[in-house]
Amino acid sequence: MLRFIIRRLLWTIPVILITTFGTFLLVRQLPPPFKGNVKLPPQVKANLLHLFGLDKPWYQQYSDYMVRLVHGNFGLSTKAGNPNVVDIIRDTLPVSMLLGGSAFVVAMVVGITLGVLSALWANRPIDWIITIITTTAFAIPTFLVCQYSVELLPYWSIGWNTLQSKIMPILVLGFSIMPYFTRVVRATVLETLQSDFIQTARAKGLPWRTTVIRHVVRNSLIPTVTNAGPLLGFILTGSFLIESIMNVPGVAGEFVRSFGDPLDPNMILDTTVLVSVMIILANLLVDISVAWLDPRITND
């Protein structure tokens, strides 16, 4: 198992390098900070560009950025007061993690439950109702759900100061990914129910509840956990929209605002690296979980 984890970790290095370099090149295509501010004298703009190292050649900027990143220095933000980006992330990341983690748990619990029920009562009214619910949740754009929740239930949907204001963003984000769990679990449970060992267990008189809990659900967890990695990435990207519309003070909202005037290159780059690392670690956790459920995978 240790070799399996080390092998997965080694793959993260080139992924992070490619991600940072690609993001750096994309940010370079945007107008430089302070360009749209006509009130600043040219000399002040030049001094600001020098302060952030934006007057250097692109390759030197990227080299300086990677050196700073290795030393844990995320650079300065172009926001008022030029705070350190690491301070902004330290204040906003816990909010995004609570939002994403809670939404993931809600989506997983509800999705797995609905998927199992839909498969056990396939082609029956319960299955049809669950299919309608999940199809509707899948079809409605997340931004529409956000917008209507803000207009209809503003006290429950805006901000992050009270318990009530935390509920709606979590439910909206969880609602957007719940159908994926339901569909995967339903298909897997239906396939497992037709397998030979389940038929043998039923023929030997094993109680139906025991068969479902110990064998059907357990064997259906592997593909469900495998699909959890990409869903965690979807949660992180979905947080950008929800935090912006619902005014949640998370790191995703700061990322969206960093594209304003003035542009905040360090915030964009650092947030991209952070999200990439989180997705990589999430997929690593998924790989470890799958390997624990099926030890044969570590030998592949």
Question: What is the reported pLDDT for 45?
Answer: 74
**25 and 106 assigned to the same domain:** no
Residue 125 shares a structural domain with residue 253: yes
In a domain, 50, yes or no: yes
The tens digit of pLDDT for each residue in 204-256 reads 777 777 777 777 777 777 777 777 767 776 777 677 788 888 888 888 888 88
Per the prediction, the chain carries an average pLDDT of: 80
| Model pLDDT, residue 144 | 83
161-184 per-position pLDDT tens digit: 778 788 888 888 888 889 988 988
Number of domains in the chain: 2
Confidence of residue 129 (pLDDT cuts 50, 70, 90): very high
pLDDT digits (tens, 9 = 90+) for 111-128: 989 998 998 888 899 999
pTM of the entire predicted model: 0.77
pLDDT (tens digit per residue) in 58-86: 888 888 888 888 888 888 888 767 788 88
Structural domain boundaries, residue 203: 85-257
> What is the distance between the alpha carbons of residues 113 and 277, in angstroms, rounded to a whole number?
30
SS3 labels along the chain:
CHHHHHHHHHHHHHHHHHHHHHHHHHHHCCCCCCCCCCCCCHHHHHHHHHHCCCCCCHHHHHHHHHHHHHCCCCCECCCCCCCEHHHHHHHHHHHHHHHHHHHHHHHHHHHHHHHHHHHHCCCCHHHHHHHHHHHHHHHCCHHHHHHHHHHHCHHHHCCCCCHHHHHHHHHHHHHHHHHHHHHHHHHHHHHHHCCHHHHHHHHCCCCHHHHHHHHHHHHHHHHHHHCHHHHHHHHHHHHHHHHHHCCCCCHHHHHHHCCCCCCCHHHHHHHHHHHHHHHHHHHHHHHHHHHHHCHHHHHC
- For residue 128, the model assigns a pLDDT of 94
156 vs 61: which has the higher pLDDT? 61
Using the 3D structure, point to which of 70, 105, 124 is the last residue of a domain. 70
Position 205 scores a pLDDT of 75
Look at residue 247 in the predicted model and tell me its pLDDT: 83
In a domain, 290, yes or no: no
- The pLDDT tens digits of the residues spanning 268-293 come to 888 888 888 887 777 777 777 777 76
Q: Is residue 176 part of a domain?
A: yes
| CA–CA dist 263, 32 (Å, integer) | 7
Residues 20 and 106 in one domain: no
Which domain CATH number covers 186? 1.10.3720.10
User: Does any domain span residue 284?
Assistant: no
